[in-house]
């Protein structure tokens, strides 16, 4: 539970140019006043994030959008109507009020309105838009509890609004409207709102494969969300060999797996095979395996549809060297 006092203290800290970790429905964010370049610089410093990886700006209410985005194409308006507040970030042409450091100098800005009462009450109390990446050190596993945030930053980040575990568990879907001159929508990152849900509203959209991503934007880079233990994403017809029993190997599986007894540790994402439940459990399960001193982790694939797209995207990046 987060008290009104904690929220108003956190909002004061933001107005003084400080950093606050706060919960959202996807993962915990590391927030600063998006209109204060010096405050935003502290995010990059604390995370160890390269300056060329742009941040998402979080708003409490849709009416804050017009101060940040210069153009709102009709399809973007339809997505906002249907999915905000929610786990969907839209990349739109930016107003000059958004400092370059937020967007890494790009002429566009990613914006989202989180579907989380504490997040929105906090943002509203600051009176400004809040730029926030996931509250983890650069390239590490995203935090889905306040304890994960504290583990990463300790005393370096005293203010963490703790509202328990995140309801979705994977980051927002990022859809860009600046990839083409006619503002056609393009999926940049699969996330909490599924491609199927988006296409049900605005029809087929372009998908920017990871390999086509801007090599200067680490959010699009292969290696990310990485545990320190080597992780291999295997195919669904994977067959166990002796190495599993001769080494300390952990298994990250979607449902229960017939070979589970042979592993040193097992995390099942959803015994009943529910992708939503698997997404909620994904990052915490990865963390638990990573903390066990294993030689390696074998991750089984999940069906690549609906939320399974976001899960597979994160597993591929966790497996990338
Ligand atoms: O669910 C979420 O989106 C979480 C919570 C805290 O809201 N935030 C999050 O932020 O995942 P971060 O920084 O970990 O990921 C931001 C992603 C990156 O892939 C970045 O490259 C992309 O958004 N992005 C931000 N601004 C962009 C822009 N102007 N153009 C293209 N991609 C952009
Ligand atoms: Mg992140």
Cα of 189 vs centre of ligand 2, distance in Å, is 11
Ligand 1 atom 15: residue of nearest CA: 133
Residue 156: how many other CB atoms lie within 10 Å: 9
Q: Is residue 262 annotated as involved in ligand binding?
A: no
With both helix axes pointing from N to C terminus, report the angle between 275-290 and 307-319 in degrees, rounded to the nearest 10: 20
Q: Average pLDDT of 110-136?
A: 98
Q: Which residues line ligand 1 (CB under 6 A)?
A: 24, 26-27, 29, 53-56, 87, 89, 91, 103, 106, 108-110, 114, 132-134, 171-172, 174, 176, 188-189, 217, 219-220
Closest ligand 1 atom to 174 CA: 23
Question: What tens digit of pLDDT does each residue of 89-112 get?
Answer: 999 999 999 999 999 999 999 999
Cα of 133 vs centre of ligand 2, distance in Å, is 6
Q: How far is CA 99 from CA 21, 54, 72, 308, in A?
A: 21, 11, 19, 35
Question: pLDDT value at position 210?
Answer: 64
Cα of 133 vs centre of ligand 1, distance in Å, is 6
Q: Is residue 112 annotated as involved in ligand binding?
A: yes
Top-level class of domain 4-219: alpha beta
Question: pLDDT value at position 245?
Answer: 84
Q: Is residue 257 annotated as involved in ligand binding?
A: no
With both helix axes pointing from N to C terminus, report the angle between 117-126 and 4-15 in degrees, rounded to the nearest 10: 40
Question: What tens digit of pLDDT does each residue of 160-214 get?
Answer: 999 999 999 999 999 999 999 999 999 999 999 999 999 999 999 999 966 444 5
Where along the chain do its domains lie?
4-219, 231-319
ipTM summary value: 0.99
Listed residue (157, 155, 154) closest to 133, CA to CA: 157
Q: Is residue 104 annotated as involved in ligand binding?
A: no
Domains 4-219 and 231-319 share a fold: no
Give the closest ligand to the alpha carbon of residue 186. Answer: 1
Ligand 1 atom 21: residue of nearest CA: 219
Q: Which tokens go with 284?
A: 């915490």
Question: What tens digit of pLDDT does each residue of 75-91 get?
Answer: 999 999 999 999 999 99
Cα of 131 vs centre of ligand 1, distance in Å, is 10
Supply the mean pLDDT for the chain: 94
Pick the CATH number of 231-319 from 1.10.3720.10, 3.30.499.10, 3.30.70.100, 3.40.50.11030: 3.40.50.11030
Question: pLDDT value at position 240?
Answer: 87
Cα of 141 vs centre of ligand 1, distance in Å, is 14
Order of strands, sheet of 265-268, starting from the edge strand that comes earlier in the sequence: 231-233, 296-299, 249-253, 265-268
pTM for this structure? 0.96
- In the beta sheet, which residues pair with residue 251? 266, 298
């Amino acid at each position: 539970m987060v008290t009104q006092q904690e929220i108003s203290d956190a909002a004061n800290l933001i107005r003084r140019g400080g950093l606050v970790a706060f919960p959202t429905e996807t993962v915990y964010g590391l927030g600063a006043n998006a209109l204060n370049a010096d405050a935003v610089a502290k995010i990059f410093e604390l995370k160890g994030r390269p300056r060329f990886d742009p941040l998402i700006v979080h708003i409490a209410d849709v009416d804050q959008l017009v101060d940040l985005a210069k153009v709102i194409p009709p399809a973007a308006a339809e997505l906002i109507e249907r999915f905000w507040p929610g786990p969907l970030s839209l990349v739109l042409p930016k107003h000059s009020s958004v400092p370059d450091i937020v967007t890494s100098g790009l002429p566009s800005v990613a914006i989202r309105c989180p579907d989380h009462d504490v997040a929105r009450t906090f943002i509203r109390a600051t009176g400004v838009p809040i730029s926030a990446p996931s509250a983890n050190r650069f390239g590490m596993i995203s935090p889905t509890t306040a304890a994960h945030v504290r583990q990463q930053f300790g005393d370096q980040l005293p203010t963490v609004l703790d509202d328990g575990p995140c309801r979705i568990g994977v980051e927002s879907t990022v859809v860009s409207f600046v990839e083409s001159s006619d503002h056609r929508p393009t999926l940049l990152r699969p996330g909490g709102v599924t491609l199927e849900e988006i296409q049900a509203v605005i029809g087929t959209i372009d998908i920017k494969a990871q390999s086509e991503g801007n090599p200067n934007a680490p959010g699009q880079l292969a290696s990310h969300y990485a545990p320190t233990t080597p992780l291999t994403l295997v195919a669904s017809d994977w067959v166990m060999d002796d190495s599993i029993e001769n080494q300390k190997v952990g298994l990250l599986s979607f449902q229960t797996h017939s070979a589970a007894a042979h592993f040193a540790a097992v995390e099942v994402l959803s015994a009943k095979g529910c992708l939503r439940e698997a997404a909620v459990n994904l990052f915490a399960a990865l963390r638990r395996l990573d903390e066990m001193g294993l030689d390696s982790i074998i991750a089984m694939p999940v069906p690549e549809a609906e939320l399974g797209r976001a899960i597979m995207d994160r597993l591929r990046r966790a497996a990338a060297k």
